[in-house]
Every structure is written in structure tokens, then in C-alpha cells.
Amino acid sequence: MSTSFKTLVKNAKQVVLVCRNAEKYLTKNEMQSLAIIENGSVVIGHDGLIKAVGPADTIESQFKGTTFDQVLDVSGMCVLPGLVDAHTHPVWAGDRVHEFAMKLAGATYMELHEAGGGIHFTVEHTRSATEKHLLEELKSRLERMVRTGTTLVECKSGYGLDLDTELKMLRVINSAKKSLSIGISTTHCGAHAVPKGKTMEEATQDIVTVQLPVLKKQMASGELQVDNIDVFCEKGVFDLSSTRRILEAGKDMGLNINFHGDELHPMNSAILGAELGALAISHLEEVTDEGIAAMATSKTSAVLLPTTAYILRLSPPRARKMLDSGVIVALGSDFNPNAYCCSMPMVMHLACVIMKMSMTEALAAGTINAAYALNRSNTHGSLEIGKQGDLLIINAPRWEHLIYQFGGHQELIRYIIIKGEIVYENNKVLNL
């Protein structure tokens, strides 16, 4: 065994492993009792992977005489896995603060969309923005996510709706992925809306016969890396048969199906997703009982987005029914110009309060199950030997403070570690 390692994080009050036996996801009762070590330590190797995690005294004797590049004594603090945000739209120009005011005054999401605002407003600004500007904005948003504990995030395109702008957005995501340490799962969401001037059929045809073939070429040549295919399956956007066509075309080129469904109207998206072997369906505020049963059987994860229901004043998705039926429930921030929230601790808090999840369920949903939704639960989502050394360290005596305290996680989060490197340290002392 090597006698030199990258990082030792020792003497934590609690180390929350989440999983015990390399589970790829947790459901039902497994989400009630997460694996936790009291007074624990974690060792991360030079390859950025976890080499040991266990009681502090066991690790101390096991690694006696070993050298570490860095040792962090986190006495009194808690260590959790880096959080996983399973749904974001982080590449765009032009905010929609003016629409927030309109929504507060009573306008609905679809009324704004049909009047040419909403996604269309963002598309206009994103099409005319330079790649450089979009990249700078994306990087600062991703850094903000890291500071709130996210170490793996799904990033969608979808404010281009034409070949050139969708490719521009995907290139921006790829550049950020190369230059930042946060993990990224990239999603083509060219079917986020029907672009102005096109019918749904024309937009579907464009995606299947123009956008996806170019993507396929660029993926094969290594120019672009894309992991997932997405469609906004919704009344007035893409219907079930267009959604099927696009998702099947994406699947045929090796992309994971991960799409928006049953948000504002019951569309039978969940049934379709289960039939196609989707890895994830997001939103599901209006999913039917049959849809829930189908997702439980097909092991299609439900990515629930409490920020959306909150900001649009929708009835929240029926998380309890899904959890009790054995669906793999994951969480995402849905960061976008409509729901401007980068913070997974806030998302987990909302999931508990407005969707009636327990804190252990919310943490499992924001770690291992979100990693499953992105096909990354072999590397992320729990603190187990062989997984990536991504840690979130909070200055509190119990891990639940991460969810219990809301609106001030910047006071609580002490370190963020990715692949064994400290990427964020919060120890600023201000003179007040």
C-alpha cells in the first residue's frame, strides 16, 4: 500500500456516508437510516478517490507513519458527501426579474410563455450573447453552486432552439467542465420550447434530422461530450408523440433519457419514460398514480424540483406517494431564469417543508439518488472506498443543520473538497 496520500480529514463529529453497501440508489426504508459514523475520518488518495473512511481511532492506527499532503482536523464539524444537483439550466443571458414581478401580480408561467416571454425571452438574449459572455456567466454560477456544497451538477442547453445556439451552449458547458473542478453531466435540451416561427412538428424534425446528427458527429470526433437527451413534454410545448420521437433518436445515439414531464398538465410522460427506459424524469407535479407505478417498476428516477412549485405556486409533486411506492426520488435546484436558486441545501429544506420529505430522505435524494439520475452513482453520491473524494464539511455538531438552517448556508459551510482538493474554504473573519 502507498505510504503517501493526498488528504486526511480527521476527527469529524459525524461522517455521513449515506450508503452502506455501494447501493446505486436508495428507496423506501433505506432512505430513513443513512449510514453515519460518529467521530470519523476520511482518507483520500493522490488519484482523488476515497481510500478509507471509518472511526477516527481506527483510521489513525491504520495510517500510522503515513504521510499526507494535507491534514484537516475537523473536530466539532460534520462531513457529508458533496451534493449532487440533478437538474439545472445554467447557461443563459438576460435575467427575468421583471417577470418575477408579473408572476407575483398573478401572471402564470404559460401565460408569459405564450405571450413570447419566459423561455422565449431567454432564447432571444442567449442567441445574441457571445460564447465568452455565456462562459463567464456559467462559471460564476457554477462557482456559486460549489460554495453551497454542490460537487456534481447536470447542465442543460435549451435556450438556443436552433443548431448554432444549441451547439454554442453545449460548447460553453464543455469548456466549463474542462476548466472547473465541479463535475458536470451535459444535457441536450434543444426541445425546451417550440421556437418562434416553427410548428411543433417542424421543431421536432429539426432536432431529429439536423441537431442530433451534428451532435452525434461532434461527439464521435471528441469535439463535444454530451450525456443526456431532454424534452419539455407539456401541453402547448412538445406532445407525447414528438417527445417519443426525440427521446428515441437521442437514445439511439447513446444518450441517457432525462426529460421534463407531467409538470403543468398530466401528459402520460411518466408512462412514456418508463417504457423507453428513461433514467430520469423531472418535475412530475401532475403525474398520475399509473405513472408513479410505472416509474417504480422501471427504476426511472423522479427528479423533484421544489423551487419550481414554490415560485410558481403550483401544487408540489406528490413526493410521499412516490417515496412510498418505491420510486427513486432525487432532487435538483432547477436553477434557471425562472427559479433563480443555486443552493441544494435550500432545495432540501424546501423538499422537507413543502413536499413532506424527512431530512434523511432529502439528503439521499440530493446525493446518491441524484447521482443515479445522472448515471454517476458508481463515482458520486456517497462516501465509500473507491468513490470520488468530494466532501462537504459543515461547522455544526449534527449533519441535519445543513437542512434545518436555511437562507444562510454560507455561515455553515466550512470546506468544500473535490477529488481530495480543498476548492472552497470559508473562514473569513470580518470586522463588524
Ligand X SMILES: N=CN[C@@H](CCC(=O)O)C(=O)O
By beta-carbon proximity to ligand X, the closer residue of 10 and 89 is 89
- Stretch 78-97 residues interacting with ligand X (CB under 6 A): 89
d(CA 90, CA 77): 31
By beta-carbon proximity to ligand X, the closer residue of 89 and 414 is 89
Query: Looking up cell 437521442, which residue turns up?
Result: 250
Parallel, antiparallel or unpaired: strands 391-394 and 413-418: antiparallel
Residues 105-144: x where in contact with ligand X by CB under 6 A, - otherwise, as a string: -------------xx--x----------------------
DSSP-derived secondary structure letter, 238: B
Examine residue 174 and tell whether it contacts ligand X (CB under 6 A).
no
- Stretch 341-380 residues interacting with ligand X (CB under 6 A): none
By beta-carbon proximity to ligand X, the closer residue of 84 and 394 is 84
By beta-carbon proximity to ligand X, the closer residue of 300 and 338 is 338
Query: Looking up cell 398520475, which residue turns up?
Result: 288
Examine residue 338 and tell whether it contacts ligand X (CB under 6 A).
yes
Residue 217 CB contacts under 8 Å (≥ 6 apart), including other chains: none
Q: Under rule CB under 6 A, how many of the chain's residues touch ligand X?
A: 13
Shortest Cβ 411–ligand X spacing (Å)? 29
By beta-carbon proximity to ligand X, the closer residue of 309 and 322 is 309
By beta-carbon proximity to ligand X, the closer residue of 269 and 336 is 336
Select the residue interacting with ligand X from 7, 187, 258, 308 (CB under 6 A): 308
- Stretch 203-222 residues interacting with ligand X (CB under 6 A): none
Give the residues across from 10 on adjacent strands: 73
By beta-carbon proximity to ligand X, the closer residue of 151 and 308 is 308
d(CA 27, CA 365): 9
**φ/ψ bin of 267: left (φ > 0), alpha (ψ from -120 to 50), beta (otherwise):** alpha
Q: Which stretch binds ligand X (CB under 6 A): 46-54, 67-75, 243-251, 334-342?
A: 334-342
Shortest Cβ 93–ligand X spacing (Å)? 12
Answer yes or no: are the C-beta atoms of 314 and 308 closer than 8 Å.
yes
Shortest Cβ 78–ligand X spacing (Å)? 31
Q: Name the H helices within 36-158.
A: 56-62, 97-104, 109-114, 119-128, 131-147
By beta-carbon proximity to ligand X, the closer residue of 283 and 414 is 283
Shortest Cβ 282–ligand X spacing (Å)? 6
Residues 229-248: x where in contact with ligand X by CB under 6 A, - otherwise, as a string: ---x----------------
416 — phi, psi (to 5°)? -120, 130
By beta-carbon proximity to ligand X, the closer residue of 17 and 270 is 270
By beta-carbon proximity to ligand X, the closer residue of 192 and 380 is 192
Sign of the CA dihedral with 330 first, then 348, 181, and 417 last: negative
Parallel, antiparallel or unpaired: strands 83-85 and 78-81: unpaired
Q: Name the H helices within 79-118.
A: 97-104, 109-114
Shortest Cβ 221–ligand X spacing (Å)? 30
Shortest Cβ 357–ligand X spacing (Å)? 19
Select the residue interacting with ligand X from 334, 361, 384, 400 (CB under 6 A): 334
String of DSSP letters for 325-388: TT--EEE---BSSSS----HHHHHHHHHHHH---HHHHHHHTTHHHHHHTT-TTTSSS--TTSB
List b or e across 223-242, with b for residues whose CB sees 16 or more CB atoms inside 10 angstroms. ebebbbbbbbbbeebbeeeb
354 — phi, psi (to 5°)? -95, -15
Which residue has its beta carbon closest to ligand X?
338
303: closest CA among 141, 19, 85?
Answer: 85
Residues 251-290: x where in contact with ligand X by CB under 6 A, - otherwise, as a string: ---------x--x---------------------------
Which residues form the interface with ligand X (CB under 6 A)? 89, 118-119, 122, 232, 260, 263, 308, 334, 336-339
